[in-house]
Amino acid sequence: MIIAHRGASGVAPENTFSAFEKAVALKANMIELDIQLTRDGHWIVMHDDSLKRTCGVRKPVRVLPLSKMKTLDAGSWFSKDFSGEKVPVLDDLLSWAKNKISLNIEIKGKINLKGKAVGSLLKTISDHGMKKEVLLSSFNWNILRAVRNLDRNIPIGLLVNRELRSRYIKEALHLEAVSIHLPKHKMRKGLPEMIHALKMRVLVYTLNSLEEMERCASVGIDGFFTNYPDLPTQKKLPVKKV
């Protein structure tokens, strides 16, 4: 399973429609993207807490309203060919992706878990009829617990960073996760088999070389995240580090 990391972010500006459309063209199985809340409570597609790197604005995402977010240029930082690329709104992205490609939506940013943010996200996904085509993930496990408390069925993927195996396995089972997303350095022979025995998939991030892909595939993973969805058919590609 090839998952386009922030879209085909090696060849187009990350988390933009250009990167998403390219991922579809390169026959990715799924698109991974990041979402955050604007000041006025709208979900937009953005990885960093700050807008500086990808939009050239020295402000946090959370301080701008949606109306201002729609005016930003999210493509010029990558290449002048993408000048004027807009920051996608999640609602528009779901409309575009419906019946086209499944999405791994990573929830980022500071969220008031006692507020309406998680509920509004789940409602937006449901309104688009995308519950079966979306996989929700986050490094903030409290967010995932809030998701599961509100929806017992939507697929959850547990994102792991430095946590011990015993801890992330326990959390994944508690959340009834469908997958565990592991960094490549945690891949060991026998680990996928153990997770498979618990009825969960193993997805690995972020593999941008054939050597990495072949090594992880050899231990039995179910899929991987990559900036270059067509890399398995290529011999060599430069990696744009982000």
141-167 confidence digits (pLDDT tens)? 999 999 999 999 999 999 999 999 999
Beta strands in the chain (DSSP E): 2-5, 30-37, 43-45, 102-107, 134-138, 156-159, 179-183, 201-205, 223-226
Are the CB atoms for 96 and 24 separated by under 8 Å?
Answer: no
Interval 117-132 mean pLDDT? 97
Burial 70-86 (b: 16+ CB within 10 A, else e): eebbbbbbbeeebeebb
- Specify burial of residue 234 (Cβ count, 10 A radius: 0-12, 13-18, 19+): exposed
Looking at the predicted structure, is the pLDDT value of residue 235 above 90?
A: no
Q: Parse the chain into domains and list their residue ranges.
A: 2-232
Rounded distance, CA 44 to CA 84, Å? 17
pLDDT at 15: 98
Q: Looking at the predicted structure, is the pLDDT value of residue 233 above 90?
A: no
**Average pLDDT value for residue range 12-17:** 98
Beta bridge partners of residue 107, listed in sequence order: 35
Looking at domain 2-232, its CATH class is alpha beta
The residues annotated with a catalytic role in the active site are 5, 47
Answer whether residue 129 shows pLDDT above 90.
yes
Tokens of 125: 């996904």
Q: Give the chain's mean pLDDT.
A: 95
Residue 232 has pLDDT above 90, yes or no: no
* pLDDT tens-place string over residues 58-109: 999 999 999 999 999 999 999 999 999 999 999 999 999 999 999 999 999 9
Q: How confident is the model at residue 178 (pLDDT cuts 50, 70, 90)?
A: very high
Q: What are phi and psi of 156, to 5 degrees?
A: -120, 135
Tokens of 112: 């008031």
pTM above 0.75, yes or no: yes
